[in-house]
Amino acid sequence: MTVFTHPEFDHHEHLTFCCDPETGLRAIIAVHNTSRGPALGGCRMFPYTSDEEALRDVLRLSRGMTYKSALANLDLGGGKSVIIGDPRKHKTEALLESMGRFLEQLGGLYIAAEDSGTSVADLRVMGRQTANVAGIRERPGFDGKPSNGDPSPATAWGTFAGLKAAVKHKLGRSDLEGLTVAVQGIGNVGYRLAQHLTEAGAKLWVYDIHQDQMDRAVAELGATPATAEEILYLPVDVVAPCAMGAVLNDLSIAKLQAPIVAGAANNQLAGPLHDEMLWKHGVLYAPDFVINAGGIIDVYYERTGPDPDAVRKHVDAIGQTLHEIFERSDRDGLPTGQIADQLAEERFKHFSR
Ligand code: NAD
């Protein structure tokens, strides 16, 4: 296993390999860049089949957080951690507390939040050993409702703001009355996004692998059910992927009929070339790490003190950032994902606090 010459290394500032034989903890903490502030990112627990697989994942994800936080204009750097193990079999309070002690050793360089395989409750257990965990406190939510730390409402609101910016840019309209949108995945974020769209007068098609989620969207929002095969390819104004990654690939892009892709799912592009493919296909793509930053914005404000109005304004600004990306993409003749990367780099490579 290589580290400094690893293809995903990309000048990481700091890597910590954590091992505690007593609790069985094996973890890697990656800090990509701290020029804007401490590195905040999720702590993922997954049964990686090799150390190499875990290293690749943590490096890739950690770098992504630097870009996401810079584009969200947060005083945060990028980092991520992975615990190697099956969350259903190997997760114990002792292991989580051990992880908390490793976080404490880093003295605030990295702050962990929940991710796949870990929950708010798990982060609270780590928090017995360190203050360097985030997204764990009950607080007034940005929407006026009490929040238990779940970032999904803010993510959905930011995705809604970003979707509106994309519609304005591509279709020249500010009013969503009668806009047609296909939402893939109606879970925590997708359902809330669907609610905002319905309230704004949009007409929805939905698909989820769970029938009860579909039934709820049909009954409560008047959405039209679609099939797995058709949801991405309907002749609608916007496709909103809100389930899993890699949905934008060679096959799917060729079949897309919507002029806009704007959804919350992480890692929507199957590979870096798909950004350009969408652009050449005439599709306006709202880069996922820009449009889905509402959650990290919400978590950030937990640390600075709850301020629902400030969170809402900050999440709304996702629309302005996307507007800037779309304008630059037109001006420079480059795909939106490439422009988003450039803009992020301007914001973290030349940042002085
Ligand atoms: P979730 O698990 O609550 O919802 C995902 C939904 O997608 C579920 O209802 C699931 O049944 C459905 N689904 C899974 N596979 C599917 C498929 N093949 N086709 C259609 N539906 C499918 O997750 P979430 O929190 O709503 O997150 C949704 C996406 O947004 C994920 O990619 C996540 O990484 C990303 N994201 C979420 C947040 C957040 O704050 N929750 C923040 C940033 C990014």
Q: Which atom of ligand 1 is nearest to the CA of 267?
A: 32
Q: What's the gap in Å between 188 CA and the centre of ligand 1?
A: 7
What is residue 351's predicted lDDT score, i.e. its pLDDT?
Answer: 64
The ligand 1 atom at the shortest distance from the C-alpha of residue 116 is 34
Give me the pLDDT at residue 150, please: 84
User: Using an 8 Å Cβ cutoff, are 204 and 154 in contact?
Assistant: no
What's the 4 CA to ligand 1 centre distance in angstroms? 33
- DSSP class of residue 285 equals E
Check if the beta carbon of residue 110 is closer than 8 Å to that of residue 133.
no
Q: What is the pLDDT of residue 306?
A: 77
State which H helix or E strand residue 53 sits in.
helix 51-71
CA pair distance 297, 129, nearest whole angstrom: 25
Mutating to test ligand 1, I would choose from 163, 208, 234 the residue with most ligand atoms within 8 A of its C-beta, which is: 208
Q: Show the ligand 1 pocket: residues with CB < 6 angstroms.
A: 151-152, 155, 184-190, 207-210, 213, 242-244, 264-266, 292, 295
Pocket test for ligand 1, best of 65, 189, 289 (most atoms within 8 A of CB): 189
| Chain segment 213-272, per-residue pLDDT in tens | 999 999 999 999 999 999 999 999 999 999 998 999 999 999 999 999 999 999 999 998
In angstroms, what is the span from residue 14 Cα to ligand 1's centroid? Answer: 30
pTM for the full predicted model: 0.94
Q: What is the DSSP string of 287-321?
A: -HHHHTTHHHHHHHHHHH---HHHHHHHHHHHHHH
Residue whose CA is at the smallest distance from ligand 1 atom 43:
292
The stretches in the chain having pLDDT less than 70 are 351-353
Looking at ligand 1, which residue's alpha carbon is closest to its atom 17? 209
Strands 238-241 and 284-285: unpaired
What span, in angstroms and rounded, lies between the C-alpha atoms of 17 and 76?
22
Number of Cβ within 10 Å of residue 35's Cβ equals 16
**Cα atoms in the 13 Å half-sphere on the side-chain side of 285:** 29
The pLDDT, as a whole number, for residue 9 is 94
**Per-residue pLDDT tens digits for 172-186:** 999 999 999 999 999
Rounded to the nearest whole angstrom, what is the distance from the C-alpha of residue 244 to the centroid of ligand 1? 6
CA of 192 from ligand 1 middle (Å) equals 11
For the chain, domains (ranges, CATH) are: 14-64+78-136 (3.40.50.10860), 146-348 (3.40.50.720)
- Has 80 been annotated as catalytic? yes
Q: What local confidence, expressed as pLDDT, does residue 139 receive? A: 83
**How far is 78 from 69, CA to CA, in rounded Å?**
7
Residue pair 184/348 in contact (Cβ under 8 Å)? The answer is: no
Looking at ligand 1, which residue's alpha carbon is closest to its atom 25? Answer: 188
pLDDT attached to residue 143: 84
Rounded Cα–Cα distance for residues 215 and 207 (Å): 10
β-bridge partners, 218: none
Choosing from 68, 80, 91, 170, the catalytic residue is: 80
